[in-house]
Amino acid sequence: MTKATWHSIPPAALVCAAAPAFFVLGWTWVGWLLLAAGIGVAALVERGAERTATVFAGTRPDWAIGERRAPSLTRDLSLIGIGMVIVHAISLEAKLDDLSMLRFTLALGGAVLVPYLLSRFVFRDRAISFPWRTHRRWTRWQWVWLFAVLVLGWLILPFYFITSGVYQNWPVVDTPSLIARLFVGVGAVGIWDELFFICTVFALLRRHMSAVSANVLQMIVFVSFLWELGYRAWGPVLTIPFALLQGWIFLRTHSLAYVVTVHLLFDAVVFAVLVHAHNPGLLPFFLV
């Protein structure tokens, strides 16, 4: 790891620490302060690096000249911060009425779309992309992992949701209409998770640090969001490894299609467990 990489971690950690302040603790002003501190420190780090490069080179550093410039940590952390602020603009309490689903659509959609548009058309780079097709067949381990996700979800998720009582963080679904809405909502949020946490947060962080550091930081944001969404009690015991694995799998496969498939299979079990928890006996294939 280079010295410059080490310098990028503290400001990035400050920005990502805003996520638990926003989504876990509900400390909005602390979250804003952490975002401002992280972006401010990033600007100071970059200014110091530019001055040092100028002194040694006698000219402007290469990364400050047109297309040759290195990625801007300040800009990339600002994009992450903008996304988190947009999400934090609404309550993440799970509700299935029309207005709540519309709020979720606008806020979550905006958290992905606004950073993407700023990156592509204002900052003129391609930091954020959504590589759906890799034109490579899935390997044997990828197919095995899809099956393993279903089995592990079937074994673990009913025990987690029901014994901890966290299934009550989701609304009662006791009619076909509500069950259908829950299915759509769970799946849509699962797809969004990968668009934001992996293709946006993780991708932006990886431009400035090692994959391991970037993965740990995106996990903090990922797990914090899931906490407010309802994965509480000992939920982080499940969501932390899941978030880290998704980052690692994306790094290995470079396939948004694959990580979305993994997530949707996992969320299919989540959906079934929630229906089962609110309607005991309706789905008799769970052990709890």
For residue 181, what are the domain limits?
A: 3-278
Could you give the 3-state DSSP secondary structure of residue 176? helix
Whether 58 shows a pLDDT value over 80: the answer reads no
- Tell me how far apart the alpha carbons of residues 22 and 268 are, in angstroms, rounded to a whole number: 27
Task: Determine, yes or no, domain membership for 285.
Answer: no
Q: Is residue 288 part of a domain?
A: no
pLDDT at residue 279 tops 70: yes
- From the list 22, 158, 167, the residue with the least C-alpha distance to 94 is 167
287 in any annotated domain = no
pLDDT at residue 60 tops 70:
no
Q: What is the pLDDT of residue 48?
A: 72
Position 214 scores a pLDDT of 97
Query: Among 135-139, 154-158, 164-168, 179-183, which stretch is predicted with the lowest mean pLDDT?
Result: 135-139
Range 242-258 average pLDDT: 97
Mean pLDDT, range 56-67, rounded to an integer: 46
Q: Answer whether residue 217 shows pLDDT above 90.
A: yes
State the amino acid at position 158 in one-letter form.
P
Q: Is residue 31 part of a domain?
A: yes
| pLDDT for 2 | 47
Judged against a pLDDT cut of 80, whether residue 195 lies above it is answered with yes
Average pLDDT over residues 252-268: 97
State the number of CA atoms in the 13 A half-sphere of 205 facing the CB: 33
Q: What is the mean pLDDT of residues 151-163?
A: 97
Q: What is the pLDDT of residue 281?
A: 87
| 220: in domain | yes
Residue 26, domain member (yes or no): yes
Band the pLDDT of 52: cuts 50, 70, 90: low
In this model, does residue 277 exceed pLDDT 70? yes
pLDDT of residue 157: 97
| Domain assignment of residue 201, yes or no | yes
Rounded Cα distance between 213 and 86, Å, is 24
Percent pLDDT > 70 in the chain is 91
The whole-chain average pLDDT of the chain stands at 92
pTM over 0.95: no
Domain count, the chain: 1
Percent of the chain with pLDDT over 90: 84
Q: Buried (b) or exposed (e) across 209-225, using 16+ Cβ within 10 A?
A: bbeebbbbbbbbbbbbb
Predicted confidence (pLDDT) per residue in 65-117, tens digit: 444 568 999 999 999 999 999 999 999 999 999 999 999 999 999 999 999 99
Is there a domain that residue 286 lies in?
no
pLDDT at 61: 47
Annotate 62-104 with DSSP letters as a single string: GGGSGGGPPPPHHHHHHHHHHHHHHHHTS------SHHHHHHH
Q: Considering Cα of 64, then 68, then 74, then 79, what sign does the dihedral take?
A: positive
